[in-house]
Amino acid sequence: AQTVTQSQPEMSVQEAETVTLSCTYDTSENNYYLFWYKQPPSRQMILVIRQEAYKQQNATENRFSVNFQKAAKSFSLKISDSQLGDTAMYFCASPDVQGAQKLVFGQGTRLTINP
Amino acid sequence: DTEVTQTPKHLVMGMTNKKSLKCEQHMGHRAMYWYKQKAKKPPELMFVYSYEKLSINESVPSRFSPECPNSSLLNLHLHALQPEDSALYLCASSQGGGWLGNSPLHFGNGTRLTVT
């Protein structure tokens, strides 16, 4: 089974800066996926980016990229050129076990982008 | 725009009331989920339906009763709730009947429930 840990309850940066959110996990699975979800004040959970453990290359989606360190079991999210609309709760998540329908979430990081 | 639609957006109910939360998706997804989220906490899984059959019940109290009338609709019937049940209730769907890696969750905007 997975465990997911986010050690930064809150972060705050200025607009246009780069920010990195940390996530560590622990698993006994051979293959697994990792996700970052964003939850703005509108409340909808939005998938930001996902990474398959078998893939060496770090996933990238526009301004969002991950630093996936499989040996260290680390999955950090980097937001470049941050925008006011990036203000949200960010959750790191992974399926509980391979093939599972249950996501295990970290405790979340509240990110504030200041003008 | 959300592709998973939840109604109502807000609901206030007394402990003796019966109410229902509704969720609808038209993406052809075959798995649908109910999550409960307390303030400043991650979502907690409650129920999963795969191909219109209940596949996961995370030991949820019987005062919460899910229903999946068809592959596009998911209801959560509420009866005799407690004030501690006040929370944001999120519905989600995924394409396949399992393996979230290949078919990530799509969430709705949630229903903010207050039990008085």
Burial of B53 (0-12, 13-18, 19+ CB in 10 A): exposed
Percent of chain B with pLDDT over 90: 81
Look at residue B1 and tell me whether its pLDDT is greater than 60. no
Q: Do A102 and B31 touch (CB under 8 A)?
A: no
Q: Are B60 and B78 in contact (CB under 8 A)?
A: no
C-alpha–C-alpha distance, residues B24 and A37, integer Å: 21
- Interface residue of A103, A104, A109, A110 to substitute, partner B, most B CBs within 10 Å: A103
C-alpha–C-alpha distance, residues B36 and B54, integer Å: 17
Tokens representing A15 are 């607009």
Q: Which of B43, B107, B110 sits opposite A105 (nearest CB)?
A: B43
Q: Are A105 and B43 in contact (CB under 8 A)?
A: yes
Tens of pLDDT, residue by residue over B64-101, are 999 999 989 999 999 999 999 999 999 999 987 666 66
- Interface residue of B10, B95, B100 to substitute, partner A, most A CBs within 10 Å: B100
What are residue B84's phi and psi, to 5 degrees? -70, -5
pLDDT band for A101, please (50, 70, 90 cuts): confident
Mean pLDDT of A34-55: 92
Q: Which of A35, A31, A26 is nearest to B105 (CA)?
A: A35
Shortest Cα–Cα distance, A35 to chain B (Å): 9
**Confidence at residue B97, expressed as pLDDT on a 0 to 100 scale:** 61
Cβ-proximal residues to B26 (8 Å cutoff; 6+ apart), any chain: B3, B72
**Confidence at residue A27, expressed as pLDDT on a 0 to 100 scale:** 82
Tokens representing B10 are 């807000």
**How many CB contacts within 8 angstroms connect chain A with chain B?**
68
Q: Are A45 and B107 in contact (CB under 8 A)?
A: yes
